[in-house]
Amino acid sequence: MLVVEDDPFVRSALIRHLTDAAHTVRSVGTALEALREVAQLRFDVVILDLGLPDLDGAEALKMLRGLTQVPVIVATARDDEREIVRLLNDGADDYLVKPFSVDHLAARMAAVLRRWDGGRGAVREREEVLRVGGLAVDPRRRTAELDGRPLELTRREFDLLAHLAGRPGEVVARRELLTEVWRQSYGDDQTIDVHLSWLRRKLGETAARPRYLHTLRGVGVKLEAPPAPVDGAAPRGGPGSGQPA
């Protein structure tokens, strides 16, 4: 695991207690060092302090998410609910408000890792390219293509597409999407709808004329390959078809 904490006393205490609990620990004191570490090594979990000397931890979190999907537990003295919700939406898997005990941290780590493994997050980084019709999604490299054309996706759009592509043809419940993609046990369905709308535009389709993404009202979302065109006709609603996005 990686501990990102600028206070040397707190960092030393965490390293000592976590090492005693049989964890292999690396530690750094700045956001830049943390980014270098995750770019070079694979970690099971990152403990991220927000009060870093070179970059605010909230910005560091966004940059970390551009490099890896490793579970991140934010350690913060900030207990404002809006700030915590923003951090969770930006990719944090959990948070702890300082001061906290090492036992509390260990319990949160175990819970995050159970969710991560149960959602096949760690496995996904080792998966081959997921293919659904003309879609190709590479979870390890975090790239996606449609009919050979690269898709420019945000982190959350990619996570949503990759989760659905891993279960093609299955209806995935909205509650599961909140839990496994947003890493939240609660949330507003509108959040999912907005991201689906953005993703549809990039796939060259609309909710009224779907090709890949199909919403079952009150149930969930399904990703499946569009039917093969008849007599060589181009599928409706695809890129270059003239259909509105």
pLDDT in tens, the chain (245 residues): 899 999 888 888 888 888 888 788 899 999 999 998 888 888 889 999 988 999 888 888 888 887 777 889 998 887 788 888 888 888 888 888 888 888 888 888 888 877 766 444 443 444 478 899 999 998 877 899 999 999 999 888 998 999 999 888 888 888 888 877 887 766 667 888 899 999 999 999 999 999 999 998 878 899 999 987 655 555 444 444 433 33
* 237 part of a folded domain: no
pLDDT of residue 239: 47
pLDDT of residue 188: 65
Q: Which domain holds residue 76?
A: 2-118
Looking at the structure, do residues 22 and 56 belong to the same domain, yes or no?
yes
Looking at the structure, do residues 83 and 165 belong to the same domain, yes or no?
no
pLDDT of residue 105: 86
Total number of domains in the chain: 2
pLDDT of residue 165: 92
Looking at the structure, do residues 97 and 139 belong to the same domain, yes or no?
no
pLDDT of residue 126: 43
Looking at the structure, do residues 56 and 152 belong to the same domain, yes or no?
no
Looking at the structure, do residues 164 and 223 belong to the same domain, yes or no?
yes
Looking at the structure, do residues 89 and 158 belong to the same domain, yes or no?
no
Q: Provide DSSP, the chain.
A: -EEE-S-HHHHHHHHHHHHHTT---EEESSHHHHHHHHHHS--S-EEEES--SSS-HHHHHHHHHTT----EEEEES---HHHHHHHHHTT-SEEEESS--HHHHHHHHHHHHHHHHHTTHHHHTT---EEETTEEEETTTTEEEETTEEP---HHHHHHHHHHHTSTTPEEEHHHHHHHTS--SS--HHHHHHHHHHHHHHHT--SSS-SSEEEETTTEEEE-PPPPPGGGPPPTTSTTS----
Looking at the structure, do residues 9 and 108 belong to the same domain, yes or no?
yes
pLDDT of residue 33: 92
Looking at the structure, do residues 96 and 142 belong to the same domain, yes or no?
no
